[in-house]
Amino acid sequence: MSFPQARRAPAHAKQVEPIDLTLSSPEPEPQPRPGRKTDPSRPAYRQPAHLKTEPTTEPKTGPKTGPGTSAYRHQIPSSHRTEHRRPKPARRHPPRVHPDHLSRIVNTTDPHVLRALVLHLCTLSPALSGAVARGLAHNSTFAQATIVKYHPAQTKPDPRRAQSASPASDFSELLSSPKIPSPIKHDRKPSPAPSHSSSSTAFSDSLPLRPLTHVAASSSSPRRAVSNANPEPAPTTKTCIHCHKPFDYENGFCTWHPGSKARSADGAVQWDCCGALPWEAGCESANAHVAASQNPSINAEPRPKTMTCAHCRQPYTDENVDSGCSFHAGEKVMTAQRTVEWTCCGGGLRESGCSFEDFHVPAHVQDMPKKRTPSYGSPSFRSRPPKNPRLF
């Protein structure tokens, strides 16, 4: 018996594989593989009895017998029947696109179309969506904000604890940790006779070793003692006798009111020296503050005598008596704009003097202004009644 065989292609057709470059026609169908050859020496597979199919009943006209009918197959014993199965077509992988061509296609495509295509492909493939999310996480502002918001905060080490750590404290922490076994192994032996000392020793060995509180406190005490031994020198602050404000050696300009606060006729409080309000700048000024008190020093050298100039009202000594003196020869008056100025030159309080002398002039007691008394020709003296002469 002979079965119909497939028509074989000519030899020159196998050497050429058709490739479609226009993508207008479907791909060529895969060629079927040749059927497997049965080995006659191997026993044929016998179908179990419960899986055998019974011959179908044909119409009364009579069963059709032929090579292609089912009745014909049942007439042939299974041991002598060879089943010809249709081979499965070979799976061909699609051709890969050249990377250069793919780069040109992506660069010449509209970004909106490319974005829509990537989102559509990500909805179809979970693996592609995960790869795209991981690849764009470093360049996406939304991804970076999400990472910063939900990322666990890192615990910063305490620098004070790292500095105060010592070998004694580290060893005590190792002993107090329950996870780390003790490096010392104790070989316990039974005592020959129970006694008070042996029982106490065994009881002390069974207790876990814990660091003492006073030991931990003493480990950090040297650091505190060292830090307190050399404190930073605090800046020396003194109080000025003129403006009554604290000062140091860097700030030397001083303004003050030599008078006192008094209440005027209209009830306003003002300085009686210049008539200025309490919060206005002082009418007297100097280039240096004068300390109210100084700490006495042992075996201190005698300091030069300090005097005050009668013109500029600034302190000076015998060493700088010829350093020059600038002052205002006029008087201070209050203007309509509530400002104080000099009558000699019209300058302000902080302006340099309009007169200059080579030497400072000391202000003596007899040069200071005295309280004026009414003369005999004054009206107040004339209004007084004459005194009667005393009789002895």
DSSP state of 291: B
**Cα 364 from Cα 326, distance rounded (Å):** 19
Does some domain include residue 242?
Answer: yes
Instruction: Report pLDDT digits (tens) over 339-356.
Output: 888 888 888 877 888 888
Residue 316 domain boundaries: 309-363
Is 351 within the bounds of a domain?
A: yes
Per-residue model confidence (pLDDT) at position 116: 92
Within-domain flag for 138: no
Token reading at 264:
């005027």
Same domain? For 280 and 322 the reply is no
Q: Mind giving me the DSSP string for 137-161?
A: TTT-HHHHHHHHHHSPPPPPP-HHH
- Predicted local confidence at residue 250, as pLDDT: 54
Over residues 293-330, the pLDDT tens digits come to: 655 444 445 666 777 888 887 887 777 777 778 888 88
Domain membership flag for residue 316:
yes
Nearest-angstrom CA–CA distance, 357 and 350: 19
Does residue 342 lie within any of the structural domains? Answer: yes
Is the domain of 358 the same as that of 314?
yes
The reported pTM is: 0.21
The number of angstroms, rounded, from the C-alpha of 88 to the middle of its chain's C-alpha atoms is: 66
In a domain, 69, yes or no: no
Instruction: Enumerate residue ranges in the chain where pLDDT < 70.
Output: 1-86, 89-90, 148-236, 249-252, 292-304, 364-386, 392
Distances (CA, A) of 130 to 46, 123, 126: 51, 11, 6
User: How many structural domains does the chain have?
Assistant: 2
Both 314 and 288 in one domain: the answer is: no
Residue carrying structure tokens 């030899």: 11
Dihedral sign for Cα atoms in the order 170, 176, 178, 182? positive
Residue 227 maps to a domain: no
- For residues 286 and 324, membership in a common domain is answered with no
Give CB contacts under 8 A, 24+ apart, made by 45-49: 46/78, 46/79, 47/78
Q: What pLDDT shows up at residue 344? A: 87
Domain-located, residue 80: no
Q: Find where tokens 């996480």 sit.
A: 137
Q: What is the pLDDT of residue 77?
A: 56
